[in-house]
Structure 1
């Protein structure tokens, strides 16, 4: 197949279809009618010689061939977007760009949720896609599949081949149920080891508090592990467990009578959340704007 004879607009539609695995959702994503998207899928099937999406039960699923196209197609479209945006002005009031950010649920709640609230006013057509940080995060930043990652510096390897900026610093507190009969006005070092412990993590993003306790050689009586920093405290009421979470997250619980926040009995070093992005985005005005918005929100954190 010769490039000159191929309608490159089909690649954008193909990306949406592969991501959504649904003609109707892909149509909504591209803001076109469902009949038009159905016709586009028919054209893609003819051009590619593959069904692309097949019905399995009540849902549609990607074919093996279509699955193999996902990452290289995303990279191609990313490079085209960089080319088109390089050196051009960015107007948030009219832009319809979508940015992908890798972040923990804690960062999403504390930093990105307020940004979404502001976007409705300053950039009504700009959208954010938030995905969790995982083992493939840095590779996806390098390949341009992720616009930005927000990740603790303490969990990153040295000498990253990326641009980074410090976003904000966070420390930790202990939280338990207000009615926990085993906990008084403060926790002791011994209680850190003996009380039932609720560990908090998010996929590959383990709690840095646990790392600090390991370094201090303090064992824990881990009763449960929650794959969410934000969810963890809400599992405490009615139990004798305690957990260790970010201080700003715990502050959101201060008006909830079900919880009690206590200072850790040993120092737990603060962590530094970084913005991470590919140097290839240096000339991207939209990317500069997004980073500025995140810095503005970080400065508002108390």
Structure 2
């Protein structure tokens, strides 16, 4: 038979999450709106409770111990669970949010979305911090287990318990540097095939929808390199005479934040004279977050960044 529960203090879990995220007593104190002296006392208490230094000084900075590294994700999950438990199911004041939000996204999606999310957080929810992870986990289990709060991108997995909302539909354009030979004259399938390409594939594949479309015209292209992310491919195209595929807005629609990333790198976006399947960008989350006020703020923020005038969230969400 188990003994009585120890005297639990939820504030310790919140403080542990802040300390392990910020790796600074001063910044953790600012995040929780307390004094550095009070946070130092809390750190000393955590060290006694956990019997580990947690954070140790290395020069001018504090670094986590191996035990602290192992506790980081668990502490964040506990704080998220506490927030879900103690937050009313309706609205929430974003200025009162104190949490780290973990988002999984491809590199170009993160580069397109995070600046807008940070700007909204500064104005509306200054206590929110963002952690963006690469597409390293299978999103369905990661959402279910609480390792990530939101997936943003081309949602390919089918999981009946995952909520998915499509946000924007994009086309694929050819990204080249200014002055690339393809920027002169009419871009034909033959000219596109004759150019050197850089492909993007997390699995290292050399072929994709563009190759199938070229094959319909009896054409093949040469892929000189396959890279795991769009940003590296865009940087390579911006520096040399290679072509990369870039997600861009559909004709007649407003500019896409993803296309803006390519243009910020100095790329010219050329219309591809071939029918290619559209790219749908959406977001996915676990239903346990559906009524959480902080998570609703996050989803609405993503809509505002990716869509100029997002509709109000449905009550069935």
Q: Which category describes the TM-score, using the shorter chain as reference length?
A: 0.7 to 0.9
Aligned to 1:284: 292
SS at match of 1:51: coil
2-structure distance, mates of 1:283, 1:16: 24
**Shift of residue 280, structure 1, vs aligned partner:** 0.6
Tell me whether 1:300 sits opposite 2:308 in the alignment: yes
CA distance in 1: counterparts of 2:293 and 2:134, whole angstroms: 25
Tell me by how many angstroms 1:97 deviates: 4.9
Deviations 1:78-127 (A, max 9, x none): 21111112425312355445533323343345444334434544x25353
| Equivalent position of 1:241 in the other structure | 242
Counterpart position of 1:5: 7
State the match for 1:89 in structure 2.
91
For 1:65 and 1:254, the matched residues in 2 are separated by: 43
- Indicate if the aligned counterparts of 1:133 and 1:205 stay in contact, CA closer than 8 A: no
SS at match of 1:102: strand
Contact 1:54–1:60 (Cα < 8 Å) also in 2? yes
Q: Match of 1:102?
A: 104
Alignment partner, residue 30 of structure 2: 28
d(CA) in 1 for partners of 2:151, 2:227 = 24
Tell me if 1:261 matches 2:243. Answer: no
**1:125 alignment counterpart:** 126
Question: Compared with structure 1, are the counterparts of its residues 211 and 32 closer, same or farther at alpha carbon in structure 2 (3 Å cutoff)?
Answer: farther
Asked whether 1:213 is paired with 2:210, we answer: yes
Tell me the C-alpha RMSD between the 2 structures: 3.5
CA displacement at 1:232 relative to structure 2? 4.5
Q: 1:215 to 1:128 in 2, by over 3 A?
A: farther
Q: CA offset at residue 277 of structure 1?
A: 0.6
Q: Which runs of 5+ in 1 are unaligned?
A: none
CA 1:268/1:120 → structure 2, altered by over 3 Å: closer, same or farther? same
Residues 86 and 284 of structure 1 are in contact (CA less than 8 Å); yes or no, is this contact kept in structure 2? yes
- Per the alignment, residue 195 of structure 2 pairs with 195
CA contact (8 A) 2:106 2:135 kept: no
Return closer, same or farther for 1:186/1:255 CA change in 2, 3 Å cut-off.
farther
CA contact (8 A) 1:175 1:250 kept: no
Q: Under a length normalisation based on structure 1, what TM-score does the superposition of the two structures give?
A: 0.78
The residue aligned with 2:178 is 178
Q: In the TM superposition, what whole-angstrom CA distance separates every residue of 1:143-196 from its partner, at most 9, and x where no partner exists? A: 22432211203xx22235311111111111112123224663244444545433
Taking structure 2 as the reference length, the TM-score comes to 0.75
CA distance in 2, matches of 1:210, 1:294: 31
State the distance in 1 between where 2:275 and 2:59 align: 54
| Shift of residue 292, structure 1, vs aligned partner | 3.1
User: 1:253 and 1:49 mapped to 2: Cα distance?
Assistant: 49
Q: Distance in 1 between matches of 2:178 and 2:61?
A: 45
Query: Secondary structure, in 3 states, of the residue corresponding to 2:246?
Result: strand
**Aligned position for 2:167:** 167
